Structure 1
Amino acid sequence: MQAEDAARFDHEGRLRLIIEAVPNAMIMVDGRGGIVLVNSEAERAFGYSRDELVSMRVEQLVPERYRRAHQGYRDSFFAAPDTRGMGVGRELFGLRKDGTEIPIELGLNPITIGDERFVLAAIIDITERLRGQAAADAAREDVLRRSILDTIPFSIIATDRRGRILTANPAAETLLGYRPEELIGSWLTKIDAEPRDRDADGSPMLAGAVGTEVEWTYRRKDGRLIPVNEVIVDLGGDDASPAGFLAIAYDITKRIEVRARVEFMANHDALTSLPNRAKLMRHLDRAIAKAAAEGTEVALLLLDLDHFKRVNDSLGHHVGDELLLQVAERLHSWIRRGDLIARLGGDEFVIVFGGVTARADLTARLDELHTALGPVVVHGYELLVTASTGGAVYPDDGSSASQLLKHADVAMYRAKAAGRNNAQWFEPAMLEESNDKLSLSAALRHAVVAGELSTVYQPLLDLETGRLLGFEALARWRSSDLGPISPERFIPVAEDSGLIRELGGWVLRQACADVAALQREIGRNLRLAVNVSPRQLRGTAWLDEVLAALDESGLEPDQLEVEITEGLLIDDHGDAVELLERIRRHGVKIVVDDFGRGYSSLAYLSRFPIDKIKIDKSFVQQIESVDASAAIVDAIIVMAHALGLTVVAEGVETTEQHRYLTARGCDEVQGYLYSHGLPRHEVAAAVRRLEASADVGVVAG
């Protein structure tokens, strides 16, 4: 023990000698914050005697505002000293005995003597260093102030308080073409291309413009105009007598050019550079206002190129784009002064005639128009260009731009229905056949969000056992404005408008969720059949949508059947069939719905990914008795079975039809004889009723 004390004493003695020789203040602190050793420089730096210092805690040498943080740092340092960080300077303040503070740099080093740990702090008074830095900073700032006018890239012109130019930087000389001596002594208005507010003596009124950034125009010495962004800065003084002003400006020519380009793009078609819909509507508004004031008419023609899609599909979009450019050029060369031609998008163009006074003139011009289109040679292909044209005239056919365009569109579709390559002028009677579709289309867009759509489920039964196999999901719509709307009305509208994708996706997700919940309720798996539109099979998004609906609901892929029309298989060029093959590889069944409607050949069935066919109800309804002969039904059943396909008869409504189909070996049935489409809350009860029936053939829905 005595040997350890002696060793420790010897260690401390040597340490005392070492730190005394160091030219900086040195203080050693124990783990409790007590000062245990100091050198003479520490006494000089802090103004305490050695005895006073070793009776103090180190926090007493730190200003009050730093003590809490200093103590926390010391405690954490003793708990886990980071030796890699030792010696790193830390700038803070020390507190002298007389209460003054000194800026210091602090370096900490851990020391262990025996079993006790200490911190040795090296303290450097950096007062002189900071003074030197402050002086250097002041010198640099002065240099910057002196050189800022020469180095800043903006034009800076200094004026006195009345706006007379005192000096200008090199950037101002570059921007304006004047040498500084040519500007000094002149009013700031010498370089203005726009009238600036002036006092009675002609001096510019700059005080009112201070702080406001404006787009201005300067005139160079050579007379050229330069758009600039300018701000006036007050150089000090008071409001009544400012010391002077700075006019700071930079060239915004590029900004103006970009703005003009953006404005052009916002108002013109990207391909043809013709005015777009936005510019068209503004032009129409002005033309209608002028016609109303002058008592004249405004005529509008909407042209839709016939069979343009065939050009894109067969020759490529680059040929289609070139065709549109040539058509745009021909139309532009054909119109007269005061007319406007615009492209709405796709292959639709609009012509607005100016100064219309008689329908006879319009008829003559229409004949000229169709002649002007004529054949076009594009990339070596000679293409015959024709158009279906619809026309509307203000004020007879509409009092606003939107009405005229709408009615011209109605007339254009009448021209298409009349065989294309002709023109039709709008007549009020045309609205009677189109208003229904238009109103339904508009209402259908809001039906999903508004919660107006629902699904019903028609049972699908095994014909031999009467056992319920599953359901076909059917969309229903009850509009808040139009009341109940039959699928025969709204499904074609959804197809034409493209809403069928959204509608079909919603039905798929809702039906998967409902059937998953229903099968948990009744305790066994069920199949679900959903109808799929050809539009949904364009692209690969539908496949992802089906797999996501199955995954979210928990249904297995082999529980889902997708029903397609046979026309899709006949007309498709391969993309839809390939997509069906991919979904079939996942286990989903493919069903041909309404089989036999429009096609009588079964030869193609073996070439496509099909698991089941549904006999169209029009054939089933021809069965009048058990002894009747329904040759088409018989042939479909026999040939489908020969190909390994399941056969479903839909639209079964009578007991005779049920028994006939049973005798012919039909596999599955659905129809009003068993049940109509049921809302979700009625399905479970219907399932129990159907399966409890001893004779499923006499169960009425």
Structure 2
Amino acid sequence: MSAHDCAAIGTPELLLAAFEQADDGVVIVDGARRIAHFNAGAERLWKCARADVLGQDASVLGLDCFRADRFAPFRDEVSLTRPDGSRIRATVSLSSVGSEPGHHVAFVRDVTEDAERRVRIGLLNAVSDQTNRAVIITDPELNIRYTNASFSSMFGYSCDEAQERRVTDLLAGRHTKIKALAKLRKRLMAGGESGEAEVLVYSKDGDEIWVSARIDAFRDRKGRVKHIFALLDDITESKQLRSLQQLIMGSLADEVPIAQIADRLCRRVEQIAPDVVCSLLHVDAGGKIHPLGGPSLPEDYSRALDGAVIGPDVGSCGSAAYYGKPVLAIDLATDPRWLPYNAMPLAIGLRACWSTPVKAKDGRVIATFAFYYRESRAPSRWHRRIVDACVSLAALAIERKEARAEIARLAYHDILTGLPNRAQLRHLIMSAIDSCQAGSHIALAFLDLDHFKDVNDTLGHAAGDELLVLLAQRLRAQLRPCDMLGRLGGDEFVILLPDHDAEAAASVAEGITQALASPLQLGAKQVQMSASIGISLYPDHATDIDTLMQQADAAMYKAKLAGRSTHRFFSADMSGLTEQRLELTAALRRAIAEDALNLRYQPQIRTVDGAIHGVEALSRWHDAVLGEVSPAKFIPLAEECGLIEQIGLWSIREACRQMVSWRRAGLNIPSVSVNLSPINFRDVHLATRLAAILAEHDLPPNALMLEITEGAFMQERAVALETMRAIRKLGVGLSLDDFGTGFSSLSRLAHLPIRELKIDRSFMRDIESDAGAMAIATAVVRVGQSLGMTVVAEGVETEAQRKVLAELGCDVVQGFLYAPALAPVAFERWLIDHCAEQARAILGRLAVAPSEPKSAKRST
């Protein structure tokens, strides 16, 4: 630029020379808004030569401050569009210059990279503040340089409060493992890789927080640590509490004893809350305390607690159990509830106790879960979260223990009468034989009610059950306290008479016969009853339990053949299979050969709409000589003598034939259920035989349901399971009958190809008032629902029972409420009447329903 030009714009030459050397763009505009100076920096910034812009109006440079009518001092960061259309961020400083009026100089700097860096940093800060993980950046000495919003939320410290504080001073507490953190830092400083650690730290309020810390280092080009970066996850609930749940559920799945489960739970709690001593006490039905878990408590202290009765002033646990709410004793030395009991805990350094009741689903307090402290204090937020999780887990474990105890009781006792069942009777008989003195006798009597089926058929199963209960009471009244009475099942009872020879046993049998001569009162009806009794003697007739039972059974059949309501002793002519058993077996073989068996059909009704779900086919046998023979007698006999497979396949063929007949007649019955013996499932070709039968009758597989009991997979399990899977693959349904009465693991059920569960009719008795029966029915329904199975309840005889089952969500019911097992023709009449009744009910509901608007009907 010449001296003349310098004079023209009123700017000293030296200043212009300095402008020329500047890195920033320098533009001078005269009073007429023309560009008078455009330095090399401006050429680089605008990407154009000065010759192209000198003398032109300043607006060509794209700066708003040059477009104004009058220039004013200006300083800001702006967006600038260059002549080639590209955009940059620039800082602009505009001020007057020179001696000439109206001359202004603009200093312009390209800050695009700085602006982008600020945007990136802003985005990173925004992302950091949005994450739910706490972020900490420190210098190599662990002094905090940066924290995000989640850090403040997690620990309660603002950014300013955390700034320049040493991490260990800010977050470490009594139980923080500082050495582990120091070791990790040392490794990073030495050039090691990043690491992770689970650490107990403390918030501003003193609450314990378990965190998973991922720690890494930022290094310079020479590899030196400039900053240490930590990413913290709060795992207090997500991991530590979940580990408690996994511990308990795993222990339950492995069927670990309750004492071991309690011990494991307490030990795990003490790991994640190292400042507590944990205790779990069971509270029995009588309100007494029994230690279950407390590994850090002295054994003599736990023994002292055993058997203590809960009460309003019995320490923390006894009071919590009594009132059903948490109790905190912040100072055991002075708390009045602890004064009679505080010597032992104080002696071992325990100063406070917080106890929480553990409640069952029905609201009963079944345990207490307690935290002891070595200092006088209240529970922290973390402690409360642990206890919230543990009381639920403890309730689950203890209720499972109670349920298993109840299952064990049911496994050895008859659910209806409470008498020992078949399994328990064998044990009692064996014990009696083992303890029998030389020269003594034991009498074993089998008792079977006469014509019991008539009671069930005429008065219903509920009346039959009541009759059996009253019978058990009458029998018990005829026996000594040392005599044993049990129920085999159905209407069969066993009486064990220690120190009874033939004469004494006959006297007891005669007394029972006389006692049963008086009618029983069932509701408004009086029912006559009698029994046939068979007796065998140890050691006169046999010395082993199985033979004794067979002989008593054979003698009982002799009593029936002799006209019933009498007793018979086993005699030599009954040896082997016995004459009566041979006669019955021969008669059964003839019945099968001559097609003398028949099926009766009982409807199964859906609870949701009252429609028919299907029918169950039940085998019946009427013999010209023996009369009506109960399935409870001829089915076990068929299993013993090898006829059961024939009966099973006959039942399936006959049920399929009847289904085809009904469908051709226009009767819509979705499916038929047929009972099979476990022996049938030992046949590896059963699925093939089923396919042939279905094809023969042109029936789809889903029209057939096979009912099985747990016995089908308890023995020869591998073969039975393979057969069951083949049947399900075929499309035929499988129903688990009498579910809830067995003793197998529920975990096995999930792996069986079962489509339907049937609740045993024994649970229907007083289900609306019996909490035990209700609990079992509820459990079966819930199990079925969780596994996607249909749940069917048998033995439903009252509307109240049906209503309870419907409210539980039971899918299907069957029983005398709707119909007994009927012959085909009788069932057809019943079905027509049932459908007609349903139709009338629907019409009745429609008649009282409010009229729909015409528009609504048209849209429908």
Report the TM range for the smaller structure's normalisation: 0.3 to 0.5
TM-score (norm 1): 0.38
Structure with higher RCO (Cα < 8 A, 6+ apart): 1
Please give the TM-score of this superposition, normalised by the length of structure 2. Answer: 0.31
